[in-house]
Structures are given as structure tokens and as C-alpha cells.
């Protein structure tokens, strides 16, 4: 069993390396209002670390993470997700919102396998039940298991982008042209990100020019 002391020793190492080198930057962050440029909405999966995969520094990303990177529609909004979304957009004035799914997502696998088996975990079951509804058309397709999971990971990201549009605070800024939405899928084995290309209507590998 992992000893929690390891994490505290890790903090000592963090303070002795990163903090020591970036002290002036961190002190400035602490003294000023935060001003991240992007809201990142991703999965809680422990293998997917937003700041690590984007090489972001403290203060650059405002992060929301939950099982299967879900944004409930405004009329059924989860208070935590909705509050973070409204704060990031209306108070922090982020210019970008990224919804990032990932390969091998356990939440999506549970939906494919039949999340009714999770009824003993009522909160998780309800969370995935809401997420499964917009994916039903894909679930009905005759695809191999792994292909279906991969496809649903993508479709789930697009469903959450649609849900973002149901929030008045987002819709207003989209209409004003002051915010952009982005759909990503992160590949665990390679660390590579694919982005949704509106013109191609598919996810493509980032080539240095994709947005």
C-alpha cells in the first residue's frame, strides 16, 4: 500500500526544485488576480494531467475534471460544473474552452458495457446515465468493442461542446466572437492530441496549425 508520506515528501521535493526556481513568478501569481486564458474540461482519470500534457505553467489553465469530461446541459446543470464554467467565463473572461476526452476512458467503457451494473453506486450510475443519452445512436451501431469506445470518446466530446452552447454565459460570448470552443482527444500511449476540425467534421492530429 502506498504510504501517504510519499506525497508529502514529493511536496518537499517540489518546493526544493520548482518553487525555488520560480519563486518570483509564484509570488506574482499570489499577489495578482488569476487570469487564465483557457478553461480546460477533462476527465478525472489519474493518467491524464492537463498541465503536464499541455506544458502549462501555474495560472494558465482553469481546470474542471470529472468522470468522462461531462458538461451537463444548462437545464440539468451539475452545480459544481456550472459554477466553475460561469466563473471561468463571466469572471475570469477566459478566451478558450477545451473539452478533452481520452483514449480508454473508463466512463465511456462503462457506458458501452452497460452501466446498469453500477446501480449500487447511485451517483456514478446517474452521472453516466445522463451522459449515455446523446450517445445512444452510436451505441446502436454494430461496431467492435474497442472501435465503439474510440468512437464514443469522440462523440462524447462533441456532445459536451453542444451542451456548452446551452449556457447563456457561453452563448452570449460565442455570439460576440470573444470565446472559442475546442474539442480534443488525448491518446494515452503516445501523449498526442487530436483536435476536432470543423471543416473536416472529424478529429485530426495537431500539426502545429490546427486549432
Check whether 165 has a pLDDT greater than 90: yes
CA 97 to chain CA centroid, Å, is 9
**Domain shared by 194 and 156, yes or no:** yes
Check whether 177 has a pLDDT greater than 80: yes
Domain residues for 7?
1-32
Check whether 113 has a pLDDT greater than 70: yes
**Domain shared by 42 and 123, yes or no:** yes
- The model's pLDDT over 38-84, given as tens digits with 9 standing for 90+, comes to 999 999 999 999 999 999 999 999 999 999 999 999 987 789 999 99
Nearest CA-CA partner of 101 in 41, 52, 58 = 41
pLDDT: is 173 or 79 the higher one? 173
Residue 100 sits in a domain of what CATH number?
Answer: 3.40.1050.10
Instruction: Give the active site residues.
Output: 43, 45, 47, 102, 105
Check whether 158 has a pLDDT greater than 60: yes
Q: What's the pTM value of the predicted model, to 2 decimals?
A: 0.93
Would you say residue 53 lies in a domain? Answer: yes
Would you say residue 71 lies in a domain? Answer: yes
Amino acid at each position: 500500500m502506498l504510504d501517504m508520506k510519499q506525497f508529502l515528501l514529493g511536496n518537499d521535493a517540489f518546493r526544493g526544485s520548482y518553487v525555488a526556481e520560480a519563486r518570483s513568478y509564484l509570488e506574482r501569481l499570489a499577489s495578482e488576480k488569476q487570469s487564465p486564458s483557457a478553461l480546460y474540461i477533462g476527465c478525472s482519470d489519474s493518467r491524464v494531467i492537463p498541465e503536464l500534457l499541455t506544458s502549462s505553467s501555474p495560472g494558465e489553465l482553469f481546470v474542471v475534471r470529472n468522470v468522462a469530461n461531462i458538461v451537463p446541459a444548462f437545464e440539468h446543470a451539475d452545480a459544481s460544473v456550472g459554477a466553475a464554467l460561469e466563473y471561468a467565463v463571466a469572471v475570469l473572461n477566459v478566451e478558450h474552452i477545451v473539452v478533452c476526452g481520452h483514449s480508454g476512458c473508463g466512463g465511456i467503457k462503462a457506458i458501452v458495457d452497460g452501466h446498469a451494473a453500477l446501480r449500487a453506486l447511485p451517483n456514478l450510475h446517474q452521472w453516466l446515465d445522463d451522459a449515455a443519452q446523446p450517445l445512444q445512436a452510436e451505441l446502436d451501431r454494430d461496431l467492435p468493442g474497442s472501435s465503439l469506445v474510440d468512437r464514443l470518446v469522440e462523440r462524447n466530446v462533441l456532445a459536451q461542446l453542444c451542451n456548452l452552447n446551452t449556457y447563456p454565459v457561453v452563448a452570449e460570448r460565442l455570439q460576440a466572437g470573444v470565446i472559442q470552443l475546442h474539442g480534443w482527444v488525448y491518446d494515452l500511449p503516445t501523449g498526442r492530441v487530436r483536435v476536432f476540425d470543423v471543416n473536416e467534421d472529424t478529429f485530426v492530429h495537431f500539426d502545429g496549425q490546427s486549432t
